[in-house]
């Protein structure tokens, strides 16, 4: 094999590697949100302006609030409170989602809240007991 053929093969390999890297970076927001929490989705609470998703894995509980209008920057929050402890909160102005917020709950109950703009959801009680 001459040096020209080797260079062409290296160029094709580099082009394929670059293209696959660009596809990974340009993944849609929904795919990124789904992979932010480890474990399986145990609850999904839709509300007027967003969706509050709750995941659980090996005693850990994770929550994400996702906007129904992604791309528009607005105030969002998500919080998870383990029974007997203070809530862990992520609040700010985001385009796609608030969170993930992960806490170790063990076998304790949790109280989860999420908001997007003026809409919100509150479990209004302990869940996953």
Using CA atoms, how far apart are residues 96 and 90, in angstroms rounded to an integer?
13
Residue 129 counted as domain residue: no
Sign of the four-CA dihedral 27, 30, 35, 37:
positive
φ, ψ at 28 (rounded to 5°): -65, 155
The per-residue pLDDT for range 36-58, each reduced to its tens digit, is 899 999 999 999 999 999 999 99
Q: In the beta sheet, which residues pair with residue 47? A: 50
* DSSP letter assigned to residue 84: T
Shared domain check, 50 and 103: yes
- Judged by phi (left if over 0) then psi (alpha if -120 to 50, else beta), residue 19 lies in alpha
Output the pTM of the full model: 0.72
Asked whether residue 60 falls in the same domain as residue 20, the answer is no
Domain check: are 58 and 100 in the same one? Answer: yes
* 62-110 pLDDT, tens digit each: 999 999 999 999 999 999 999 999 999 999 999 999 999 999 999 999 9
Q: Which residues span the domain enclosing 42? A: 36-122
């Amino acid at each position: 094999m001459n040096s020209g053929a080797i260079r062409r093969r290296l160029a094709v390999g580099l082009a394929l590697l670059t293209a696959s890297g660009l596809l990974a970076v340009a993944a849609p927001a929904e795919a990124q949100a789904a992979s932010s929490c480890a474990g399986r989705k145990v609850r999904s609470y839709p509300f007027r302006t967003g969706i509050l998703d709750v995941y659980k894995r090996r005693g850990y509980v994770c929550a994400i609030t996702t906007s129904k209008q992604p791309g528009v920057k607005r105030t969002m929050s998500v919080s998870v409170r383990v029974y007997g402890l203070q809530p862990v909160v992520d609040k700010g102005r985001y385009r796609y989602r608030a969170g993930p917020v992960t806490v170790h709950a063990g076998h304790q109950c949790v109280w989860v809240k999420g908001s997007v703009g003026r809409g919100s959801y509150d479990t209004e009680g302990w869940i996953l007991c």
